[in-house]
Amino acid sequence: MVFALALIACLLWGSAFSMIKLGYRFLSIGGTADQILFAGLRFTLAGILTVVIGKGIFKGSFLPKRSALPCMAWLALFQTILQYTLFYVSLAHLSGVRGSIINGTGTFWAILVACLIFKQEQLTARKLAGCAIGFLGILLVNLSGLHAGASFSVLGDGFMILSTIASSVSAALLRQFGSREAPYLLSGWQFFFGGLILTAAGWIVGGRFGAVTMQGIGILIYLALVSAVAYGLWALLLAHNPVSKVQIYFFVTPVAGVFLSAWLLGEKNQALGWPALLALICVSLGIYIVNRPSRIKQV
């Protein structure tokens, strides 16, 4: 059951890369303002769905405590506003395959942020080894891009890396604030308020959908469900299993992102090229090394 539910969550997260790019296509989204509006609508809806699903799973409340409002504000800033503004702009300048591989290093950034900035755990040799192998994957995917004539892009590669760093800070904040409020309430309401801010900002600066199609609206709803359902499943698994037993499956996300992008976006040449495949192996291996439970001798 753990394997099945974790696999579903990771496949959903991995599908987001190609679905966002398809959403750009079906809704005729072009400029940065359009992309921010698209992200804002997704996370406003995702916030509502996360709270509803979380209440159904944990039988808790719909509303957070007043004391949790500052926590939600910080989470909204890093997890929704900064992370997804950078993420959505980045995907307009990257292929789905390349974006999936670079985003797969989020685990390593999360470890460095938790260990070096928030001091939530120790930075061990195994964690350093995993980070080093993962960063090797990033170097390989950029060498692959140079070979194909696509050099390092600040708006593409750079923004995707900054997006993963913002996500890592939000993960550390969620761990720090999790004892004060139910995680589904913190995440759901920060999705909602962060999404509202992004929607308003995108609209004010001129963001509009060039076309409104059934396929585009369907993709928007699907992406909202990705955030709500995947988070709900992950929270359910963590509530009943050790973190190490669940987190090990997260390596499926970049793998799914690469091959779903190859299938849905027709990026087979990038997905099947040896530098991209080797980069994907490095990222996945690094995630495995970092998350592999330590062997404890039985006395």
Express each pLDDT in 129-156 by its tens digit: 877 887 777 677 656 554 455 567 888 8
Cα 135 to Cα 11: distance, rounded to the nearest angstrom: 23
Average pLDDT over the chain reads 80
Q: What pLDDT score does 298 carry?
A: 39
pLDDT at 221: 95
pLDDT for 200:
96
As a whole-number percent, the residues of the chain with pLDDT over 70 amount to 83
Q: Which of 55-69, 176-190, 198-212, 261-275 has the lowest mean pLDDT?
A: 261-275
The stretch 186-207 carries a mean pLDDT of: 92
Top pLDDT among 222 and 103 is at 222
Cα 171 from chain centroid? 11
HSE of 253, CA atoms in CB hemisphere, 13 A = 25
Q: Output the pLDDT for position 179.
A: 65
Cα dihedral sign for 126, 131, 132, 134? positive
Residues whose CB falls within 8 Å of the CB of residue 257, separated by 6 or more in sequence, listed in order: 13, 14, 15, 16, 17, 18, 96, 97, 99, 100, 101, 103, 104
Nearest to 33, CA basis, from 199, 158, 147, 267: 199
User: What are the φ and ψ backbone dihedral angles of 124, each rounded to 5 degrees?
Assistant: -95, 170
pLDDT digits (tens, 9 = 90+) for 52-99: 888 887 777 888 888 888 888 998 999 889 998 998 888 888 877 777
Q: What is the pLDDT of residue 283?
A: 74
Q: In terms of Cα–Cα distance, which of 275, 200, 264 is closest to 36?
A: 200
What's phi and psi for 211, nearest 5 deg?
-150, 150
Nearest partner of 110 among 100, 120, 98, judged by Cα? 120
How many CA within 13 A on the CB side of residue 92?
A: 20
Rounded Cα distance, 257 and 236, in Å: 23
290-298: long-range contacts (C-beta < 8 A, 24 or more apart)? Answer: 290/107, 290/108, 290/111, 290/126, 290/127, 290/130, 290/131, 291/107, 291/244, 291/247, 291/248, 291/250, 291/251, 292/126, 292/244, 292/248, 293/242, 293/244, 293/245, 293/248
Domain definitions of the chain by residue range: 2-291
pLDDT at 146: 45
Q: Which of 251, 248, 229 is nearest to 184 (CA)?
A: 229
For residue 203, pLDDT beyond 70: yes
Tokens 């350093």: give the residue.
128
Which of the pair, 176 or 85, is modelled with greater confidence?
85
User: What's the pLDDT score for residue 155?
Assistant: 86
